[in-house]
Amino acid sequence: MLVWINGAFGAGKTHTAHELHRRLASSHVADPELIGFAIHRMLPSSERKDFQDRPQWRAAVVETLVQAERVSDGPVIVPMTLVDDRYFDEIVGGLQARGVDVRHYALTASSETIRRRLRTRAGAVFGRVMGMDETWAMQQTERCVAALAGDRYATHISNDARSLDDVVEDIAAHAGLDLIRPRPQRIRALQRRVAVSIAHIR
């Protein structure tokens, strides 16, 4: 099974994916961004635009996730924003055509909530300290929220005023997955969230 966790930038995909992974047996997190970053590193800086627009990224994501799902002993969890209808159909449809059991979940939250999270997440704070301008994710908020509201991107999981544990448990219940670890204690949960945030500063 492949569990795709979609959502606007700042919706909580990465934290949800890693907490779901922690609570599931033999699961694996596969981040398609890493393929995009590898493509960018091989290109001149002038060509490092949205890697989702590159056919080789989309093809590589499908092929890599097909292989990951085949060799994994448990669910493959994919945290990735995907809001272009054509790319969604190409990638998710391509996985399904290859026999992958894809369970797609879109985390939904208001634009105001997402912008607040973007302003406070570790990458944005680090960027401000270093004098870097990280506005691209903010600029995508309205587009992502509008696209993900559509039926194509169901199943929708509200993530506006709910805990991470509630969201993780909703996804697991819908996908028929048995969580083997309990909710973490408050301090431990905060430590894990900070660690995940720092590990995913781009």
Q: What is the per-residue pLDDT for 126?
A: 44
Q: What is the per-residue pLDDT for 132?
A: 40
Q: What is the count of structural domains for the chain?
A: 1
Distance CA 79, CA 26 (A): 17
pTM of the model: 0.85
Across 38-58, b (16+ Cβ under 10 Å) vs e yields ebbeeeeeeeeeebbebeebb
* Helices assigned H by DSSP within the chain: 13-23, 33-41, 55-71, 85-97, 111-120, 122-129, 136-139, 141-148, 164-175, 186-199
pLDDT tens figures, 60-113 = 999 999 999 999 999 999 999 999 999 999 999 999 999 999 999 999 999 999
Q: What is the per-residue pLDDT for 124?
A: 47
Across 109-127, b (16+ Cβ under 10 Å) vs e yields beeebbbebbeebbbbeeb
> In terms of pLDDT, which residue wins out, 138 or 188?
138
- pLDDT bucket at 131, cuts 50 / 70 / 90: very low
Per the structure, the complete domain to which residue 195 belongs is given by 2-199
DSSP class of 140: T
- What percentage of the chain carries pLDDT values higher than 90? 68
Average pLDDT over residues 28-42: 95
Distance CA 83, CA 145 (A): 9
Average pLDDT over residues 14-20: 95
pLDDT tens figures, 153-167 = 999 999 988 999 999
CA proximity to 165, closest of 183, 177, 178:
183
Q: What is the per-residue pLDDT for 127?
A: 44
Asked if residue 133 has pLDDT above 50, the reply is no
- What percentage of the chain carries pLDDT values higher than 70? 85
Distance CA 62, CA 94 (A): 7
Q: What's the CATH number where 162 sits?
A: 3.40.50.300
